[in-house]
């Protein structure tokens, strides 16, 4: 056991070449390079930075923190109080396997609500409780909660109102090479435009379109579809989003563009190069801002 380089609670780690794979009870599963582990030992993150990074890692499982994206992670801004209570409620929904199931408060609730400390997490929990969306379990007061009927109704209304959504769904090929592209270009570009990226967890994906993917696309403001590798799932997800009337941002690695399906060529596709991921990130940010305007989380650097 070692302290998590971000939140400092004891975690399981597995060395894996130049990086370490972390399974943290608060931050979830992520990887971190040796250089960054050393860097983080010599500098203090603020509680707020820890809360934001931990929340981000929970939403972007298996993210690799390296020297290139550390600065970006440290500068992530905190979503509004209501955005965070919505995030927590939506994540509790995903953890609930049957209506009425009691869920125990754990360290993961800190990152699910992007809280910087326990008092803030409880403030969000009590807000959901006084709003009537969750209720304490009799006899387990303040340790277990369940989603109420009003909570389920509210979750439904959240899905219907995705004009206010700040989520950008990312449809892409899952491969080791593409992980770097996601971490250092796609996620960065979406955040800088003021939105939050959502990518389906690699381990759960298996190139299959399931209910969870459909639900996530429905609650998104837009879809970024990267066609590199030409996976059937990406074409399907982009088409589904178009059908819902969502904006789709199209992209493809330059040398793979010639393989793009004929029907897609009419769209203004952002092309990118593996060695120029910072340029790709900027182009994504510019395109999103041009098509949708700046997102709710936009900050001026």
58 binds Zn ion (CB under 5 A): no
Which residues have a Cβ under 8 Å from the Cβ of 20 and sit 6 or more positions away?
13, 14, 31, 32, 34, 37
84 conformational bin, left if phi > 0, alpha if psi -120 to 50, beta if neither: alpha
> Cα dihedral angle (288, 281, 254, 248), rounded to 10 degrees?
-20
Select from 16-24, 72-80, 82-90, 281-289 the region that touches Zn ion (CB under 5 A).
16-24
DSSP state of 101: -
Q: Contact, 65 vs 34, CB < 8 A?
A: no
* Residue 180, Ramachandran bin (φ over 0: left; ψ between -120 and 50: alpha; else beta): alpha
Check residue 27 for interaction with Zn ion (CB under 5 A): yes
53 makes contact with Zn ion (CB under 5 A):
no
From the list 5-13, 90-98, 250-258, 275-283, the region that binds Zn ion by CB under 5 A is 5-13
Q: Which two tokens stand for residue 38?
A: 């050393």
Q: How far is the CB of 33 from Zn ion (least distance, A)?
A: 16
For residues 6 and 186, which CB has a smaller minimum distance to Zn ion in the complex? 6
Long-range Cβ contact pairs of 44-48 (< 8 A, separation 24 or more): 45/6, 45/74, 47/116, 47/117, 48/78, 48/116
Please choose, out of 20-28, 90-98, 100-108, 271-279, the segment that lies near Zn ion by the rule CB under 5 A: 20-28
The distance of closest approach from Cβ of residue 78 to Zn ion in the complex, given in angstroms and rounded to an integer, is: 17
Least distance (Å) from Zn ion to the CB of residue 66? Answer: 17
Say if residues 214 and 187 touch (Cβ distance below 8 Å): no
- Residue 65 Cβ, how far from Zn ion at the closest point, in Å? 11
Q: Is the CB of 6 or the CB of 121 nearer to Zn ion?
A: 6
Query: Cα(182)–Cα(197) distance, rounded to whole angstroms?
Result: 10
Nearer to Zn ion, 30 or 280 (CB): 30
Among 4, 65, 116, 124, binds Zn ion (CB under 5 A): 4
* 26 touches Zn ion (CB under 5 A): yes
- Rule CB under 5 A: say whether 24 interacts with Zn ion: yes
User: Which residues are at the interface with Zn ion (CB under 5 A)?
Assistant: 4, 6-7, 24, 26-27
């Amino acid at each position: 056991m070692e302290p998590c380089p971000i939140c400092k609670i004891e975690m399981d780690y597995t060395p894996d070449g130049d990086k370490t794979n972390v399974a943290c009870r608060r931050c979830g599963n992520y990887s971190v390079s040796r250089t960054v582990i050393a860097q983080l030992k010599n500098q203090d993150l603020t509680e707020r930075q820890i809360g934001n990074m931990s929340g981000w890692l929970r939403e972007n499982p298996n993210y690799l923190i390296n020297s290139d994206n550390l600065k970006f992670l440290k500068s992530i801004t905190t979503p509004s109080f209501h955005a965070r209570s919505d995030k927590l409620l939506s994540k509790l929904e995903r953890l609930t396997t049957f209506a009425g199931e009691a869920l125990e408060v754990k360290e993961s609730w800190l990152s699910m609500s992007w809280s910087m400390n326990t008092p803030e997490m409880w403030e969000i929990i009590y807000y959901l409780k006084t709003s009537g969306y969750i209720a304490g379990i009799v006899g387990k007061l303040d340790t277990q909660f369940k989603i109420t009927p009003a909570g389920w109704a509210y979750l439904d209304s959240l899905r219907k109102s995705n004009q206010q959504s700040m989520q950008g769904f990312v449809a892409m090929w899952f491969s080791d090479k593409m992980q770097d592209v996601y971490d250092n270009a796609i996620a960065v570009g979406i955040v800088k435009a003021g939105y939050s990226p959502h990518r389906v967890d690699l381990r759960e994906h298996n190139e299959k379109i399931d209910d969870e993917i459909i639900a996530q696309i429905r609650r998104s403001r837009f879809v970024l579809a990267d066609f590199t590798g030409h996976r059937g799932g990406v074409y399907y997800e982009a088409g589904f989003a178009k059908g819902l009337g969502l904006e789709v941002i199209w992209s493809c690695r330059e040398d793979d563009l010639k393989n793009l399906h004929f029907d897609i060529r009419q769209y203004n596709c952002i092309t990118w190069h593996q060695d120029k991921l910072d340029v790709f990130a900027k182009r994504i940010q510019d395109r999103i801002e041009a098509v949708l305007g700046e997102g709710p989380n936009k900050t001026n650097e």
